Amino acid sequence: MQRELIINDSIFQCKKATIRDIDELVETRIIVLRAANKLSDDVDMTKVEKESYAYYKKALENGEHIAYLVYDNGKFIGAGGISFYQVMPTYHNPTGKKAYIMNMYTAPEYRRQGIALHTLDLLVKEAKEQGVLQIALEATDIGRSLYKRYGFVKMENEMELL
């Protein structure tokens, strides 16, 4: 399903990705990872590409992942995705449903125009429609202010084993 995004008198096309978009999703994933990790084009991403393809194939088919792709007259300019998963129910999250926003990207020449905000809003609405009460994400320096304005807060109680 394709829809128009009208932002500051500019018209962009936004579509919910399907299995037919898997190659573009994988390509976008590599773009995002290279940008977020400051990786040059010569860094081998073959294994990540292969695993991302397998992930999208399974997750798009079973509804564990939803992605949106944004275009300007057919030119790819942005994306965002959300993965859904289940944990044990808790007092604050009695369903145990959680979501993780990832792969947020806007081409440099299109940044600060509201594209990421609209994409983020679509993803959050998808989560809420599925009854998800807890939505998390990992923010880069570039995106942090957008997520704060949207209402995301820094988590202080989680830990990670590296």
CATH number at residue 81: 3.40.630.30
One-letter amino acid at 142 equals I
pLDDT (0 to 100) of residue 1: 61
User: How high does pLDDT run on average in the chain?
Assistant: 92
pLDDT (0 to 100) of residue 162: 83
Domain boundaries, position 104: 2-150
Angle (nearest 5°) at CA 52 between 126 and 159: 70
pLDDT (0 to 100) of residue 124: 97
One-letter amino acid at 151 equals G
Is 157 contained in some domain? Answer: no
pLDDT at 4 over 80: no
Is 155 contained in some domain? Answer: no
Q: Computed over its alpha carbons, how large is the radius of gyration of the chain?
A: 16
Per-residue pLDDT of 86-139, as tens digits, reads 999 999 899 999 999 999 999 999 999 999 999 999 999 999 999 998 999 998
Is 129 contained in some domain? Answer: yes
Overall number of domains in the chain: 1
Per-residue pLDDT of 20-78, as tens digits, reads 999 999 999 999 899 888 999 999 999 999 999 999 999 999 999 999 999 999 999 99
Q: Which residue has the tokens 């959680």?
A: 98
Is 156 contained in some domain? Answer: no
Q: Token pair for residue 103?
A: 């792969």
Q: Token pair for residue 32?
A: 């995002």
Is 160 contained in some domain? Answer: no
Is 120 contained in some domain? Answer: yes
Is 159 contained in some domain? Answer: no
Sheet with 97-106: list strands edge to edge: 2-7, 10-16, 65-72, 75-86, 97-106, 134-137
Q: Token pair for residue 130?
A: 């599925």
Is 133 contained in some domain? Answer: yes
